[in-house]
Every structure is written in C-alpha cells, then in structure tokens.
Amino acid sequence: IVPSAAFQCGNCHAALVKDWQSDTHAQSAINPTVLVFYDSTLAPAFRLDFPHSAGNCSTCHAPADAVRHPWDTHLRQLSPIGKKGVSCDVCHKMTSATPDPSGGRPGVLSIQFRRPSGRHQLFLGPLDDVVAGPDSYAPIFQQSQLCASCHSAKFWGVSTYSSFDEWKITKQARKGIQCQDCHMKSTGKTHNFAPDRGGTDRDPQTIH
C-alpha cells in the first residue's frame, strides 16, 4: 500500500473514490466514537483496562498499518495511509477471508492479500471479464465472505461484531442474497467506472 493510494485511485475512479470518502469505511480509523472506546480516560475504554497493550482494534479499523503489525498498532499513532481506514487498496488486494470461529483472528489476521513486489501492481475485483493486466477477477468479491473477517468477531467468547453471523442464518443467505447485494447496491447511474481513462461501458447494474 502506498501513501495517498486513495487519491491515486481517484485519478481514474473519481466517482468511486468520492463515494468511498463519504462511507464509514473511510472513517474507520478516525471515527470519534471508536477512539473514545479505544483510549478515553473514562470507562468503558479498552486501554483503561489494558494500558500496556495497543490491542488488535487496528486489524479492522486501520488494516493498512495492522497488516504488518497486527498486535501493536496504536489507533492514535497511525501513518497517513493508516488513517484512511479501510481504503481502496485494502479490499482490492484481497483473495480470501477465513475468519476464526473463536474470534481470535479478526480483520487482517484472517485475510489473505496479494501484493506484487517492486513496481508491479495488482487490482482484484468482481468483474470476470476484465482485460488481462494488473486487473484480475476474484470470486470473493461476489460473496459475503469478503466482509466476514471484520464483521464477525468475538472477544473472550463474547460476540461483538455479529452482522456476518446474523446474515448466515437469514432467508436472504439461503436464497443466495449476499451482503453486497444490499450494502453495495448499484445506483443505476454509473456506466463506466473509469471514464476517459480507457474504462469499459457496462450495464450500470453491474457497477456497485
């Protein structure tokens, strides 16, 4: 992940980056409520109980920094890219997500990433007809499993993030309706997510 990656993405995907900037994923590392529960001087706050631990909150809330230091990334001491929360590059480098049912491996601890070395790039996404090159198709982008690592977590046996687990027992799950079908629904307005940069015109319903 490179500094200002979100703005680089915006060179081609201006509309999508604008959507992301207004999304809670973009605010996950700087959300005032999250930070209060992390290290407020008033209870409840994680670091009041564990003052000598940075915790693993960053594995979901600041994954770009936590991918290298999952157990000692302090939410108040993030890099510029870490402060961007769940940025474009975090998801678009994912190949799989396998959360631990016990809750012991939240966020990046359960995610497999692919990041080529050197100047090479790789961008994964949900379209199976992408032109060969740095872009590639990854089936997980069409599956609720994409969301599971951060939206299914337990701490000391207590479920704290349960939206993925709740989805699994719904009629929507039985019908094959994925998280993305509702939470990343097409607006029907975008027919090219890289206009003027060689992007392909598509059915707007295929662009989330």
Q: How confident is the model at residue 39, as a pLDDT?
A: 95
In this predicted structure, what is the pLDDT of residue 21? 94
- pLDDT at res. 65: 97
Q: For residue 3, what pLDDT band results from cuts at 50, 70 and 90?
A: very low
pLDDT, tens only, 7-25 = 488 888 888 899 899 999 9
Give CA angle at 176 (170, 179), nearest 5°: 70
56's tokens: 């693993």
Strands in the chain per DSSP E? 94-97, 111-113, 123-125, 135-137, 153-155, 158-161
Q: Residue 4's pLDDT is what?
A: 47
The conformational region for residue 127 under phi > 0 = left, psi -120 to 50 = alpha, else beta, is beta
Give residue-wise pLDDT tens across range 172-184. Answer: 999 999 999 999 9
Residue 2 confidence (pLDDT) above 80: no
Residue 106: predicted pLDDT? 92
pLDDT score, position 101: 81
Mean pLDDT of the chain: 90
Please tell me the distance from the alpha carbon of residue 148 to that of residue 138, in angstroms, as a whole number: 16
The string of pLDDT tens digits covering residues 59-118 is 999 999 999 999 999 999 999 999 999 999 999 999 999 888 887 899 999 999 998 888
Are the CB atoms for 175 and 132 separated by under 8 Å?
no
Phi-psi region of 201 (alpha: psi -120 to 50; beta: other; left: phi over 0): beta
Using an 8 Å Cβ cutoff, are 127 and 199 in contact?
A: no
What tokens were used for 54? 């940075």
